[in-house]
Amino acid sequence: MNCDTQVLVTGAAGQIAYSLLYSIAKGDIFGNDQPLILLLLDITPMLSVLDGLLMELQDCALPLLKEVIPTDKEEVAFKDIDVAILIGSMPRREGMERKDLLKANVRIFKSQGLALDKYAKKEVKVIVVGNPVNTNCLIAMKTATSIPKENFSCMTLLDHNRAKAMIGSRLEIPTSSVKNVIIWGNHSTSQYPDVSHASVTLNGGKVMGVYDAIQNDNWLKGEFITMVQGRGAAVIKARKLSSAMSAAKAIGDHLRTIWFGTPKGEWVSMGVNSDGNTYGIAEGLIFSFPVKFQNKTWKIVNCLEINDFSREKLNLTMKELIEEKNSATELLLSDK
């Protein structure tokens, strides 16, 4: 039997965590032979909700789940953890200015970065989900100075999955038959869903590039991109709540990719630290790239051709991320 893996989920009283926790505890993410300890962190008014989650997880009678620890204390939640899933963030409220949203989240993710630095294992894998996800990840990474930068990533696999699903629907094929879409940049409406390197396996078994299979460049360069970019808002409009089930599924996909690697010849989209030497993306941004994983270590898929259309899209989302980084860094320095 393996040693216990200690998994922290922040924002644990929220909808995404509720959709995620059973999959983790059952063994769907870290393996069906991996015993787990779950640490559930949320703000003090949510402790009674965490107690209810504890009871539900106990009532599931899951053999891999050794312990559940609900808490509102970072020194308890971050102690010796192997995985940090940072879901909790300040959501944008009606009338809230972007700078106010950034300021609130800088404070949250600075605090959590310091807690990671002080209490977590140095090999901890940190996955940031709370929006604005790229910049929140950057703040946590910059604050947790003793943890390697490559241990931090933010989730753009929800957008990746959305893109796959839309291509599959358009061609009336399973999403498993769509390979190697890319989400570039920011998890925002500036993101660039790119299928110029993607392929599909059609129902007859023929493998083709997406552009050749769909034969509608205007749709792929127009409506498809805006649909992926605006899917989160469309879910909120229809459901009156933000994505939870699909976000939890994407977190699971993200974590399984880290733990078990990417299939041969495939990549996934993930926000990781830019070293300034790849695809012309500025250094020090958390930018979504196509990545491959082996031995829990990511590597950006290099040397893909970037055409003029794609370059324009990459530059737009990079510009937005630079602006967010500069604003957040200024707030970080002023928040003493």
Q: Phi-psi bin for 51: left (phi > 0), alpha (psi -120 to 50), beta?
A: alpha
Residue-wise over 234-258: b if at least 16 C-beta within 10 A, else e?
ebeeeeeebbbebbbbbbbbbbbbb
Q: What is the DSSP letter of 234?
A: H
151 is in an annotated binding site: no
**256 among annotated binding-site residues:** no
Confirm or deny that 105 is annotated as ligand binding: yes
129 labeled binding residue = yes
Could you tell me which residues are beta bridge partners of residue 240? none
- The answer to the question of whether 98 is labelled as a binding residue is yes
- For 77, the 3-state DSSP assignment is helix
SS3 28: coil
Residue 131 annotated as part of some ligand binding site? yes
In angstroms, how far is CA 150 from the centroid of its own chain? Answer: 14
- Assign 238 to helix, strand or coil: helix
The one catalytic residue in 160, 187, 197, 254 is: 187
What would the two tokens of residue 156 be? 């753009």
How many CA atoms lie less than 13 Å away from 252 in the CB half-sphere? 21
The beta strands (E) that lie in 189-267 are given as 192-194, 199-201, 207-209
Q: What single-letter amino acid sits at 274?
A: S
* Token pair 């490559």: residue: 150
Q: Nearest-CA neighbor of 53 among 280, 260, 65?
A: 65
Active site residue 187: yes
* 92 has binding-site annotation: yes
Does residue 307 have a known ligand-binding role?
no
Q: Which residues are annotated as a binding site?
A: 42, 92, 98, 105, 129-131, 162
Annotated binding site for substrate: 92, 98, 131, 162
In the annotated binding site for NAD(+), the residues are 42, 105, 129-131
Catalytic positions are 187
